[in-house]
Amino acid sequence: MAEQSALAVRDLGKRYRKVWALRDCTLSIPVGRTVALVGPNGAGKSTFMNMVVGLSKPTTGDIEIFGSRMRQDGPSLARVGFLAQDKPLYESFKVSEMLTFGRKLNPSWDQALAEDRLAKLNIPLDRKVKALSGGQRTQVALTLAVAKRPDLLVLDEPLADLDPLAREELLQNLGEVSADSGITVIFSSHIVEDLADTCDWLVVLNRGRVQLSGAIDDVLASHRLLTGPDDHAGQVIADTDVIADRRRNGEAKLIVRTGASAVPEGWRVDPVALEPLVLGYLRRPESGRPAEQTTMSGGRA
């Protein structure tokens, strides 16, 4: 039986005047996944997230949240928590007043969770938002999103303002929140190496299109690193779908899709790590076609 989707989008697109910020985006994310949405600046990550949380209207396509077609005022949106990239908070409010604001807006608000979280982070409730550091603001904004007790939590660049320790703690905390409560978390980041331990699903966006969407284990299992002599690489490239091609001191290192063809004699085969794989895709925006997304994501939306 197919896994239930927390989020399914079909042919989703957004055009700003003549420019498509996102196009032909079709993917499905099963319930309970922790998703890394990666892509370079301007890839369309915020555009995608803003539509998923109902802040921006799609130009094309549609969005389903937990099986319900999304409407701007629909109940499905009540199940979604969002941390926007610019972490909007009221400057003149105290932290406690921001929590009151969250409580009034959200019927499922968990005040104890919010207060505990802020106490652990040493963020005083009586401090004004304008007196918080950038990282503390991120934590307050994230607390507002989490205390809503959403089933789908969407976080746009939550790591950007955090120091390395806070970043690690936040990733660990998100992993625990997702494992304990079974909620689905989607977060965007440029930092691929942080994501492999926390996330189990990968979406790569590039130039407004989806290059990959799938379980990280499946994505890794469907690629290999081939190492062999530089002067024999041409033949491998001709026979295989090559995602990345690095040459050094007479040696070629190629990231290829598995199963495309037999491994040439004398070449070493190793598993591939997530970061070079993602970078390989980002360097080749034409790689990754809908048929391959289908295979990796276990079915189109």
Ligand X SMILES: Nc1ncnc2c1ncn2[C@@H]1O[C@H](COP(=O)(O)OP(=O)(O)OP(=O)(O)O)[C@@H](O)[C@H]1O
Question: Contact with ligand X (CB under 6 A): which of 42, 88, 229, 290?
Answer: 42
Name the one range near ligand X by CB under 6 A: 42-50, 123-131, 230-238, 260-268. 42-50
**83 CB burial (10 A radius; 0-12, 13-18, 19+):** buried
Closer to ligand X at the Cβ: 57 or 248?
Answer: 57
Closer to ligand X at the Cβ: 20 or 93?
Answer: 20
Q: In the complex, what is the shortest distance from the CB of residue 219 to ligand X, in angstroms, rounded to a whole number? A: 20
Task: Return the residues of window 128-157 that contact ligand X according to CB under 6 A.
Answer: none
Question: Contact with ligand X (CB under 6 A): which of 4, 11, 16, 269?
Answer: 16
Question: Contact with ligand X (CB under 6 A): which of 32, 39, 61, 228?
Answer: 39
Q: Is 206 in the site for ligand X (CB under 6 A)?
A: no
Question: Contact with ligand X (CB under 6 A): which of 47, 136, 138, 213?
Answer: 47
Q: In the complex, what is the shortest distance from the CB of residue 85 to ligand X, in angstroms, rounded to a whole number? A: 6
Q: In the complex, what is the shortest distance from the CB of residue 45 to ligand X, in angstroms, rounded to a whole number? A: 3
Closer to ligand X at the Cβ: 186 or 255?
Answer: 186
The closest residue (CB) to ligand X is 21
Q: In the complex, what is the shortest distance from the CB of residue 49 to ligand X, in angstroms, rounded to a whole number? A: 8
Question: How many residues appear in the chain?
Answer: 301
Question: Contact with ligand X (CB under 6 A): which of 5, 46, 136, 240?
Answer: 46
Closer to ligand X at the Cβ: 207 or 284?
Answer: 207
Q: Is 43 in the site for ligand X (CB under 6 A)?
A: yes
Q: Is 21 in the site for ligand X (CB under 6 A)?
A: yes
String of DSSP letters for the chain: -PPPEEEEEEEEEEEETTEEEEEEEEEEEETT-EEEEE--TTSSHHHHHHHHTTSS--SEEEEEETTEE--TTSHHHHTEEEE-TT----TTSBHHHHHHHHHHH-TT--HHHHHHHHHHTT--TTSBGGGS-HHHHHHHHHHHHHHT--SEEEESSTTTT--HHHHHHHHHHHHHHHHHH--EEEEEES-HHHHHHH-SEEEEEETTEEEEEEEHHHHHHTEEEEEEEGGGHHHHHHHS-EEEEEEETTEEEEEEETTSSPPPTT-EEEE--HHHHHHHHHH-TT---HHHHHHHHTS--
Which residues of the shown chain bind ligand X in the complex (CB under 6 A)? 16, 19, 21, 39, 41-47
